Chains A and B, each alone.
Chain A
Amino acid sequence: MEWSILQQYGPGLLAGFGNTVLCWLLGTIFGMALGLVIALLQRYGSRWMGWIIQVYIEIIRGTPFLVQLFVLYYGGPLVGLRLDALPAGLLGLTIYGSPYFAEIFRSGFRAVSKGQIEAARAIGMTEASIVRRILLPLALVSSLPALVNFSIILTKETVILSIITVPELMYQVQRMSTETFRYLEANLVLALFFWALVEAISNVGRRLEAHVTKHLIERT
């Protein structure tokens, strides 16, 4: 094993890691936002809107992420969508994650007891207020473990972005290994970085969970 090559490629690898975290973070945030919008539309929208959304969900969940990226990045220009690799990757990640997040939020909505919504209606709160003050906060709390879980899955999906030349970690590692033929060091780096990232996210997730459920655990 030659550690000097890690020094040489260090900056590139670090930049790659930065891009991985960036894509993952933004992809998660935008994907969650889109997923939330979808879940709310399904709950409060009209029936035909529900069908359109269901079709969207089936398509995104039924096709491989890689193929979706190809459609966006290589197929996009043919309909006027000319994106660089990184933005295309971000868009792809957002779209890919949205139906899963939407499903998580739907479960979260179901977990909010009907009685609490009724109590708000009985006082005369508007539906918008009820969603904002009662439904969303409580749904988010019960969805938290599933949200953290899926965001961890998304970290693994970011490596697929390398195939459409997004310069994230895997792309940089591939470059390093093809130029130096040092596949072992290369993949070791990859494994270590992903393990660290996943551990960090799990840790933050656990602490977040403990914090928000602080007041909800029965402890008279």
Chain B
Amino acid sequence: MFSISVFLESFSPLFWAARYTLLISVLGIALGLVIGTLVCAARLSPYGWLRRFAMLWVSFLRGVPLLVQLLVFYYTLPVIGLDVPAMVAAVVTVGICASAYISEIWRGAIAALPKGQSEAAVAIGMTPRDIWSRIILPQAFSLSLPALVNELILLVKASSLVSVVGILEVTRASQAQAATTFRPLEVYIAAACIYLAINLCLSALGRYLEHRTAI
């Protein structure tokens, strides 16, 4: 039977843990944006080797499950001699994984721009650098905002996996809570509610942005 009191009492510790969920997601996407932009640039560069490297980067990070990436990072790094705190390892892994998806989001947005845009700029005589920074990138950014918000939502959900490396985000905290209350049903449903709340807000944000940036 469902115990409302256990359900409600779980929220307090889980709210606390939600800070880490948000921290990892936000830092992760920030890192992902930085690396993703570089990867996208490499993907579109005129140098063949750079393009191929970027393609491998993307296909590898999108092909291997995130959980595997997390454990590789976490367990193999000490073997090499690098001793990083779990939090750093988690954020870096999540960020690097996100960079592959973000690079593709950028690429898609740039490709979606009508070719006529840059053609008109060329016809006026703009330099390639200006065409990129003034015409293509700003528009590609607006176009990709909904997809980026979607990516953030995916990261919030993916952050639940960092529980396996011991970080006390919502999922890990709920496991601990379930162990002490012996009521896993109520606790995990409470955890689900927290994720849902975060993601519903993000979805609303995404819809708002889509509305505002509709060309």
Residues B183 and A78 in contact, CB atoms below 8 Å apart:
yes
User: A62-B200, A79-B185, A159-B68 given as contacts; is B63 within 8 A of A67 (CB)?
Assistant: no
Taking a contact as CB atoms closer than 8 A, the residue among A63, A79, A195 that contacts B195 in the complex is A63
Which residue of chain B has its CB nearest to the CB of A78?
A: B185
B-contact bits for A157-193, CB 8 A (1 contact / 0 none): 1011011000000100010010000011001001100
Given A63-B157, A183-B75, A190-B68 in contact, is the A71-B163 Cβ separation under 8 Å?
Answer: no
Give Cα A183 to B195, complex, Å: 32
B164 within 8 A of A: yes
Shortest Cβ gap from B59 to chain A (Å) = 9
- Give the distance in Å from the alpha carbon of A218 to the alpha carbon of B191 in the complex: 52
The 8 A CB mask of B53-85 against A (1 = contact, 0 = none) is: 000000000011111100110011001000000
Q: Which residues of A contact B199 (CB under 8 A)?
A: 61-63
* Cα A159 to Cα B69 with chains together (Å): 11
Residue of A nearest to B160 (CB): A64
Q: A75 to B189, Cβ gap below 8 A?
A: yes
Interface presence of A194 (CB below 8 A)? yes
Interface residue ranges of B147-168 to A (CB < 8 Å): 153, 156-161, 163-164
- B163 neighbours in A (Cβ, 8 Å): 66
Which of B64, B79, B175 has the most CB atoms of chain A within a 10 A radius of its CB? B64
Q: Are A64 and B185 in contact (CB under 8 A)?
A: no
List chain B residues, Cβ under 8 A from A40: none
Is A68 an interface residue when CB atoms closer than 8 A count as contact? yes
B2 touching A64, Cβ below 8 Å: no
The answer to whether B64 touches A191 (Cβ under 8 A) is: yes
Say if the beta carbon of B106 comes within 8 Å of chain A. Answer: no
Q: Which of A75, A174, A195 has the most CB of B within 10 A?
A: A75
Interface residues of A in 38-69 (CB under 8 A from B): 58-59, 61-68
Q: Is the CB of A75 within 8 A of B76?
A: no
State which of A76, A79, A159 has its C-beta within 8 Å of the C-beta of B65: A159
A157 to B67, CA, bound (A): 9
Least distance between A104 CB and chain B CB atoms (Å): 16
Query: A183 to B71, alpha carbons, bound, how many Å?
Result: 9
Most B Cβ at <10 Å: residue of A62, A71, A75: A62
**In the bound complex, CA of A159 to CA of B1 (Å):** 31
* A71 and B188 contacting across the interface, CB-CB below 8 Å: yes
User: Of the candidates B1, B79, B171, B178, which one forms a contact with A79 in the assembled complex, judged by CB atoms under 8 Å apart?
Assistant: B1
* Chain B residues positioned under 8 Å from A150 (CB to CB): none
Q: Whole-angstrom distance from the CB of B140 to the nearest CB of chain A?
A: 23
Structural contact, B64 and A74, CB atoms closer than 8 A: no
- Identify A160's interface contact among B153, B161, B174, CB under 8 A: B161
Instruction: Specify which of B71, B76, B159, B196 is in contact with A63 (CB 8 Å cutoff).
Output: B196
Q: A67-B195, A70-B174, A75-B184 known; 11 other A-B pairs, CB under 8 Å?
A: A63-B192, A64-B195, A70-B188, A71-B188, A75-B187, A157-B65, A160-B67, A170-B67, A183-B75, A183-B76, A190-B64
- List residues of B whose CB falls within 8 A of some A CB: 1-2, 63-68, 71-72, 75-76, 79, 153, 156-161, 163-164, 171, 174-175, 178, 183-189, 191-192, 195-196, 199-200, 203
**Closest 5 A-B residue pairs measured CB to CB?**
A75-B185, A64-B160, A74-B184, A62-B199, A156-B65
